[in-house]
Amino acid sequence: MHSLIKIADNKNVFIVNDIYEFIDPKNIYIPILKSSSFNKNTYIYKNTYFNDFIASASGFISGSKKFFLYNQLIPCLKITNDFKENVHKNTRIKKVNNIDELKQVLLKYKLNNIYDKLSNNPDNIIVTCVDEEAYSAREFMCLSKNYDEILQTMDYLSKIIKINNLYLAIKSTNAKSIKNVKSIIGTYPNIKTVLLPDKYLISYKDNICEFLNVKANSIVLTTNEVYDIYQSVIKGKEIVEKLITISGDGIAKSYVIRVKLGTALKEVVDKFIEFNTDNYEVYVNGYLQGEKAQSIDELLITKDTDTFIINEKSTLKEEECINCGACFKICPFDINVKKCYFENRQSLKCIRCGLCNYICPAHLNLKKVVGGQNEK
Binding site for ligand SF4 (CB under 6 A): 321-327, 330-333, 335, 337-338, 350-356, 359-362, 364, 366-367, 370-371
Q: How far is the CB of 136 from ligand SF4 (least distance, A)?
A: 18
Q: How far is the CB of 248 from ligand SF4 (least distance, A)?
A: 20
* CB closer to ligand SF4, 25 vs 354: 354
* CB closer to ligand SF4, 63 vs 325: 325
Q: How far is the CB of 142 from ligand SF4 (least distance, A)?
A: 26
Integer Cα distance of 166 and 179 in angstroms: 19
Q: How far is the CB of 130 from ligand SF4 (least distance, A)?
A: 17
The candidate with the shortest Cα–Cα distance to 129, out of 119, 121, 117, 137, is 137
The candidate with the shortest Cα–Cα distance to 303, out of 56, 24, 44, 92, is 56
* CB closer to ligand SF4, 5 vs 107: 5
Integer Cα distance of 291 and 129 in angstroms: 23
Paired sense of beta strands 27-31 and 49-50, if any: unpaired
* CB closer to ligand SF4, 193 vs 346: 346
* CB closer to ligand SF4, 197 vs 325: 325
* CB closer to ligand SF4, 63 vs 361: 361
Q: How far is the CB of 355 from ligand SF4 (least distance, A)?
A: 4
Angle at Cα 323 formed by Cα 320 and Cα 325, nearest 5°?
130
Paired sense of beta strands 59-69 and 43-44, if any: antiparallel
Burial of 21 (0-12, 13-18, 19+ CB in 10 A): exposed
Q: How far is the CB of 2 from ligand SF4 (least distance, A)?
A: 10
* CB closer to ligand SF4, 57 vs 330: 330
Lateral strand order in the sheet of 43-44 = 27-31, 72-81, 59-69, 43-44
Q: How far is the CB of 342 from ligand SF4 (least distance, A)?
A: 8
Integer Cα distance of 104 and 162 in angstroms: 17
Integer Cα distance of 59 and 286 in angstroms: 32
Integer Cα distance of 21 and 315 in angstroms: 34
